[in-house]
Amino acid sequence: MALSTVLSWTFLYDFIRGPMVWISFVIFFCGVVFQVLRFMSLLKEQPIEKLEPGPGKFINRPAASHLAVDRGKKRWFQKGGFTKGPEKKGPDKKDWIVWFKVSIAGVNPFMTVVTTIFHVLLIGVPVFLLAHNILLDNAFGISMVSLPENVSDFLTGIVILCILIFLFRRLFLERVRIITGFEDYLLLGLAAAPFVTGYLAYHQVFSNYKILISLHILSGEFMLMAIPFTKLIHMIYMIIVRFNVAGEYSFGNATKNW
């Protein structure tokens, strides 16, 4: 194949829309499987140690081991919560209020709402986008429920607004700025690129639609390939951690540490 053909815009456009899509999905799935297996291999069973009744009975254990015993707030409340005493049967309203005040939502409710909306829409908008589902139907005959185009357009704007809020915090809030590195800005831009380019392509802001939609597809592919090998893997680790690693926010009978 001649070099001029390889570098031609038509070839690049077809490559981005075809083989590159499969390459990005293969890298994504293989990378996720590798990271999950690696993460699980680093988990260790954590023995549950309890104090025995009676004088002189003392067990030296880590300061945070009570988290491993109580396995999350639900079982923690069932065992008595903040209130001590044998008469305590279960959680009361004060227990929940105190817990909420020291939780992430209680300390910073605004960012809790923004972060929740962002993460839900980050996955929900691409999955239920009409244009994406038309491509899926044409390629594999799979028809999914789609959002109206005006709703998807509005939600895309919400995602971009959330990203701007994240960027503003990292630039101007000192306690966030001092722990922010180049990778954090890069990943924020990588997450924003598919939505910004998709928004511009939908509204046909530039005359050359093909270039804009190619950038949209390419940015989505780069983001997909980056997930297993960057901090974006937290979207996968979050599920594993909640059900396996003992901690304040764990679900179920988490019995391991990392």
Helix (H) or strand (E) holding 257: strand 256-257
CA angle 155/220/114 to nearest 5° reads: 35
Identify whether 122 is part of a domain: no
Average pLDDT over residues 29-43: 90
- How much is the pLDDT for 81? 47
Identify whether 234 is part of a domain: yes
**Torsional sign, CA 21, 118, 192, 171:** negative
**Cα–Cα dist 190/212, whole Å:** 16
Domain count of the chain?
Answer: 1
Identify whether 248 is part of a domain: yes
| pLDDT, averaged across the chain | 80
Number of H helices and E strands in the chain, helices first, is 14, 2
Of the pLDDT bands very low, low, confident and very high (cuts 50, 70, 90), residue 3 is low
Identify whether 93 is part of a domain: no
Q: Which two tokens stand for residue 42?
A: 């680093």
Domain that holds residue 233: 228-257
Q: Which two tokens stand for residue 178?
A: 């001092």
**Among the listed ranges 4-13, 60-69, 213-222, 248-257, which one has the minimum average pLDDT value?**
60-69
Residue identified by tokens 């829309």 is: 17
* CB crowding 219-251: b at 16 or more within 10 Å, else e: bbbebbbbbbeeeebeebeeebbeebbbbeebe
CB 112 within 8 A of CB 105: yes
Summarize pLDDT for 98-133 with one digit per residue, the tens.
777 777 778 888 999 999 999 999 999 999 999 999
Determine the residue type at 213: I
**Cα–Cα dist 144/124, whole Å:** 12
For residue 228, give the nearest of 5, 16, 34 by alpha carbon.
34
Average pLDDT over residues 180-209: 93
**Burial group, residue 178, by CB count within 10 angstroms (0-12, 13-18, 19+):** exposed
Task: Judge whether residue 54 has pLDDT over 90.
Answer: no
CB 59 within 8 A of CB 235: no
Average pLDDT over residues 1-11: 63
Identify whether 236 is part of a domain: yes
Give the rounded percent of residues in the chain with a pLDDT score beyond 90.
49
**Burial group, residue 145, by CB count within 10 angstroms (0-12, 13-18, 19+):** exposed
